[in-house]
Amino acid sequence: MPPSREEPRGLLDALLTHRAPAPADVPARFLAPRIVTAADVEAAGDVVVELDAGAEAPAPGSRRPLRYQIDCAPEYLDDILAFTAPAPLCVYVAGDALADTARRLTEAGHVPGLPAGRSADEIADFLAVLAHSDTGYVAQARDAAEVLALLSATAAALSGFDVRQAVAEPDAARLAALVPEAAAAVREILLTVEVDDPAAIVEGLAGLGLGRQAG
């Protein structure tokens, strides 16, 4: 079960979001609400609703999603910045100006998205903006090593350590040893990580030293 609002969020609690139905072999505590299309929101429970940048804004429904999510080309960023959603809006902007777009998104109250496969320099510049924002960020990852690097980089950004080194040489033992308050602080910044195969990610994290007991 995910932690209650009275309990600090563990490092891996509700970390992994996904698009397919929840896999039966992954403990529920690791899974965040999944991503669905706008057509599926009414029947899906707690979800993140993916919007189409070329479609009309969503009409209010009987069920309010946890968050909205959208992929945005740079030329449409001004329109997104002016958009007010009925729930927090996570925005992935294509292109290389991650830190600049993250700054603009947080100023507008939106949640920046960090795409998978970014370099240590890009992640460090991005987290220089996000480490002290009120919005937090979401991310995408291709494998467990990338998830571990994101956790490590976020922890380093909060503690004033070298983020680039944390990306290149993540220390799973240090992360697993974080006190509950420190783990919760990391997760207040890194909200969720979108992955294709949560079961493989959980198994991979355990193999990297961040096991099922972590967080």
In the predicted structure, residue 53 carries a pLDDT above the cut 80 = no
pTM above 0.75, yes or no: yes
Instruction: Give the number of residues written for the chain.
Output: 215
pLDDT at 55: 63
pLDDT band at 85; cut points 50, 70, 90: confident
pLDDT band at 52; cut points 50, 70, 90: confident
**Mean pLDDT over the full length of the chain:** 88
Residue 141 and residue 16: Cα distance in Å, rounded? Answer: 10
Residue 63 and residue 81: Cα distance in Å, rounded? Answer: 24
The pLDDT tens digits of the residues spanning 88-100 come to 999 999 988 999 9
End-to-end CA distance of the chain: 13
